[in-house]
Chain A
Amino acid sequence: MRSIKLANLTKSKHGSLIIPKVNLTIPAGKFFALLGPSGCGKTTLLRLIAGLEDTEEGQIYLGDEDITHIPINQRPINMVFQSYALFPHLDVFDNIAYSLKLKKLPKLVIEQKVFKILESFHLVDHIHKLPSQLSGGQQQRVALARAIVSEPDVLLLDEPLAALDFKLRERMLIELIELQDKLKTTFVYVTHDQFEALTVADQMAIMNHDGTIEQIGTPKEIYEFPISSFVAKFVGTTNIFSGQLRNIHSDPEITIPDLGTFKVYLSQKKPWVVEGHEVSMSIRPEKIFITKKEVKNFSNHMKGTVQSIVYHGRSTQYNVNLKNGMRIQVFEQNEEHFPAEVVDYDNEVNLYWQKENVVILER
């Protein structure tokens, strides 16, 4: 269990910059998720850590050790590939024992280790099967077992669940969390799926299209307090409004053209929080209360007309047209079989939210 530190890591391919001077610390023994849109360079970053690609500039530290120029086969870092990359001509046992045999361990020790891991992964019955004879989920677990059996300091996972169906993926995510908890190995999980990242991560980093890290934090920090509109929009769903900041020293407000003035809460002092400055306001759809009635005790209110309703099962999504022509999303939990109030198409509705649930972002 050791930390990973990237210092000014830079990499370009075919003349275009993919990783631009990235600085990142991945804490030891934590489940770390790297979330970013497709093609943002997150896989390249993972391959640089693994040693599959040469670093152009900057350093990679494993704990205090500079491993930038240590070849891939000497780094105590293993990787689970997106395609699993199981050796098709070796059976489950030989696939998992591959790294142990390289360490020239006694045969008995190898067998013990492989059996132990096969048992905890429920793969004992498949020990002599070839990868092609296994299901997707089983292949996934063999790939995982192969990577952790030699007890690496760091385990890298490159979209490991992308090929699995939703149910299986949910189950594997829980298994991964429990596995990491047991092993205390540093896990680095790369994905473009915000649901996966939020589920597994102790800490996560959001990478934007340029390969720059926008924000690092716990899933809750990232989701509730995004620091940029990119993060707010990429992680989860949100409604973004643009307006002018007012009264920032007493009772801060935002004035949105054609819509009105709304109370906001400024949690932190930011350089762009200036009186009269143009900013963005983000409200998550589930933070908004939708009703046809008039309600007190909310700091903010606006009116709208329901344009469409999408039923999701556990929640219902209302798409509401506002008077300035914008459309916003509202989620309501479906807590009752027979709700007291039914909001329907074309209903005039009141939308309420508390000022503390708003995030003010730089434009």
Chain B
Amino acid sequence: MKNKKLTSHLPFSFGMPAVIWQIVFFYLPLFFIVISSILKVTELGVVEGVTLEKLWLFLSPVYLGVIASSFLLALSNAVLCLFIAYPIAYFLAFTSHKFKNLFLFLLIVPFWTNFLLHVYAWFFVLEKEGFLNNLLRFLGIINEPIHFLNSIFAIMVMMVYYYLPFMLMPIFSSLERLDRRLIEASMDLGAGWSHTFRRILLPLTLSGVRGGFFLVYIPSFAEFAIPELMGGDKQMFVGSVVSHYILGEETGSLGAAFTVVSCVALLISVVLLYLLMNKFVKKVYG
């Protein structure tokens, strides 16, 4: 009996540190953010009561526009990553074992260097006298250099570059688990490539696609560094607005309020995208 009790407590005690960590460093700060977004504080720092004023403030068109552009940024990043990652993952999963490990290794290598180094590397590629402009001029496609930097294009390039592995890995692992005979059986029964993809490959790798999609979509929504570094200050995104208020003098609670508003928006968008995805998948399966 004693032993039984011990084993039933075991998972609980093993899980405890993680639970405590999660509470102290995630739920508690989140709680503070929510509280500070609705507290009414006088200029002298005295709490007067509760108000939704600050939250309402951010429901104005300007801020909703910021949320919308973050939504578009995250969505287009996730979709682009999906379309680029799936063929790569397919190639990786179905090449021979020896090369598979090499390719996976090459995918991991960039993570060993600092994020800022990646950004500067892309500066060299995209700047006026950079690699891309020189290449295009050499090929005779353009005469005058193009301003790639400080544009949506530069942001997207960096976003896709940075987030691609997060899409690739889950799709790769779900493809790798797939029995290749299933593809052969489908073709043998008379299906072409697109039918096999829609009816066999996609449904059986859906968990990977879904996982990768949200793994990219959610952090992209709040991405701060990449738009800031690559996009100049042309376009405002959720991340830059939050940092502006949080770092600004005595505007911390406004930052908290905007965080709450954008979190709710993110949550709604995730639910909607999830439902939309299900609907789309059902249609594709036919």
Interface residues in chain A, defined as those with a beta carbon under 8 Å from any beta carbon in chain B: 50-52, 72-74, 77-79, 81, 83, 85-89, 98-99, 102-103, 146-147, 150
With contact pairs A83-B179, A83-B181, A85-B182 given, residues A50 and B188 touching in the complex (Cβ less than 8 Å) = yes
Of A78, A83, A86, A88, which one neighbours B188 at CB under 8 angstroms? A78
Q: How near does chain B come to A109, taking the closest CB pair, in angstroms? A: 16
* Residue pair A87, B184 in contact (C-beta under 8 Å): no
- Does B211 make an interface contact (CB < 8 A)? no
In the assembled complex, B204 has its CB within 8 A of some CB on chain A? yes
The answer to the question of B100 belonging to the interface, with a C-beta cut-off of 8 Å to chain A, is no
Chain A residue contacts of B185, Cβ below 8 A: 79, 81, 85-87
B181 in contact with A98 (CB, 8 Å): no
- B76-115: which have CB < 8 Å to A? none
A78: which of B182, B189, B192, B203 is its contact (CB, 8 Å)?
B189
CA distance A252 to B189 in the complex (A): 56
Given A52-B184, A98-B186, A103-B190; 10 other pairs, CB 8 A cutoff? A52-B187, A72-B187, A72-B188, A77-B188, A81-B184, A85-B179, A87-B199, A87-B200, A89-B204, A98-B191
Of the candidates A77, A78, A102, the one having the most CB atoms from chain B within 10 angstroms of its own CB is: A102
Contacts of B188 in A (CB 8 A): 50-52, 72-73, 77-79
Known A83-B179, A89-B203: A98·B184 in contact at CB below 8 Å: no
The answer to whether B137 has its CB under 8 Å from any CB of chain A is no
Nearest CB of chain A from residue B168's CB, rounded to whole Å: 23
Chain B 244-259 interface 0/1 with A at a Cβ cutoff of 8 Å (1 = within): 0000000000000000
Contacts of A147 in B (CB 8 A): 189
Docked pose: A86 CA to B186 CA in angstroms: 9
Kindly identify, within residues 161 to 188 of chain B, every residue whose CB is under 8 Å from any CB belonging to chain A.
179, 181-182, 184-188
| Least distance between B266 CB and chain A CB atoms (Å) | 31
Q: Which residues of B contact A146 (CB under 8 A)?
A: 189
Does B195 count as interface, using CB distance less than 8 angstroms?
A: yes
User: How many cross-chain pairs have Cβ atoms below 8 Å apart between A and B?
Assistant: 56
Query: Which B residues touch A51, using CB under 8 A?
Result: 188
The smallest C-beta distance from B246 to any residue of chain A, in angstroms, reads 46
Shortest Cβ distance from residue A114 to the other chain B in the assembled complex, whole angstroms: 14
Interface residues on B, range: 10 to 19
Bound complex: CA of A72 vs CA of B185, how far in Å? 10
Q: Mark B265-280, 1 if CB is under 8 A from A, else 0.
A: 0000000000000000
Is there contact, CB below 8 Å, between A99 and B189?
A: yes
Q: Is the pair B204, A98 in contact by a Cβ cutoff of 8 Å?
A: no
By Cβ-Cβ distance, the 5 closest A-B pairs, closest first, are: A85-B181, A85-B185, A99-B189, A102-B190, A72-B187
Contact partners of A81 in chain B: CB under 8 A? 181, 184-185
Question: How far apart are the CA atoms of A98 and B182 in the complex, in Å?
Answer: 12
Report chain A residues within 8 Å CB of B199: 87, 98
Cβ A73 vs Cβ B200 within 8 A: no
Q: Which residues of B contact A89 (CB under 8 A)?
A: 203-204
Closest to B192 in A: A73
Q: How far, in angstroms, from A77 to B187 measured CA to CA in the complex? A: 11
Contact A73–B191 (Cβ < 8 Å): yes
Q: Who on chain B is nearest to A14 by CB?
A: B96
Q: In the complex, A50→B184 CA distance in Å?
A: 10
Q: Are B204 and A85 neighbours in the complex by a CB distance under 8 Å?
A: no
Question: Could you pull out 12 A-B pairs where Cβ atoms are within 8 angstroms?
Answer: A72-B187, A78-B189, A79-B184, A81-B185, A85-B185, A86-B185, A87-B185, A87-B199, A89-B204, A99-B189, A99-B190, A102-B189
B186 CB contacts on chain A under 8 angstroms: 87, 98
Determine if B204 and A102 form an interchain contact, defined as CB atoms under 8 angstroms apart.
Answer: no
> Closest approach, in angstroms, between the C-beta of B187 and any C-beta of chain A?
5
B189 contacts which of A52, A83, A88, A150 (Cβ < 8 Å)?
A150
Question: In chain A, what residue has the closest Cβ to B286?
Answer: A101
Chain A residues positioned under 8 Å from B204 (CB to CB): 88-89
- Closest A residue to B182 by CB, please name it: A85
Residues of B within 8 A of A85 (CB): 179, 181-182, 184-185
Smallest Cβ distance from B96 to chain A, in angstroms?
Answer: 10
Q: Which of B135-171 contact A (CB under 8 A)?
A: none
Residues of A within 8 A of B195 (CB): 102
CA of A51 to CA of B188, assembled, Å: 8
Task: Kindly state the separation between the CA atoms of A79 and B181 in the bound complex, as whole angstroms.
Answer: 11
| Closest partner residue, chain A, to B189 (CB atom) | A99
CB–CB A73/B190 < 8 A: yes
The answer to whether B187 and A73 touch across the interface, beta carbons within 8 angstroms, is yes
> A307 to chain B: closest CB distance in Å?
47
Give the residues in chain A near B190, CB-CB below 8 Å.
73-74, 99, 102-103, 150
Docked pose: A61 CA to B204 CA in angstroms: 35
Most chain-B Cβ atoms within 10 A of its Cβ — which of A52, A73, A77, A79?
A73
Looking at B184, B189, B191, B192, the one whose CB has the most chain A CB atoms below 10 A away is B189
Task: Provide the bound-state CA to CA distance between A194 and B84, in Å.
Answer: 50
In the bound complex, CA of A329 to CA of B95 (Å): 49
Closest to B185 in A: A85
* Assembled-state Cα–Cα distance A261/B191 (Å): 64
Determine the chain A residues whose CB is within 8 A of the CB of B182 once the complex forms: 85, 87-88
Q: How far is the CA of A85 from the CA of B179 in the complex (A)?
A: 8
Q: Find chain B residues with CB under 8 A from A72 CB.
A: 184, 187-188
Residues of A within 8 A of B184 (CB): 52, 72, 79, 81, 85
How many angstroms from the CA of A78 to the CA of B181 in the assembled complex?
Answer: 13
Q: Which residue of A lies closest to B195 (CB)?
A: A102
- Complex Cα distance, B184 from A99, in Å, reads 13
- In the complex formed, the residue of B with least CB distance to A149 is B189
CB-CB nearest in chain B for A71: B187
Q: How far is the CB of A90 from chain B (nearest CB, A)?
A: 8
- How distant is the Cα of A201 from the Cα of B179 in the complex, in angstroms? 30
* Nearest Cβ on chain A to B283's Cβ, whole angstroms: 16
Q: Give the CA-CA distance A72 to B191 in the complex, in Å.
A: 9
* B134 → chain A closest CB, angstroms: 42
What is the minimal beta-carbon distance from A107 to any residue of chain B, in angstroms? 13
Question: Which A residues touch B187, using CB under 8 A?
Answer: 52, 72-73
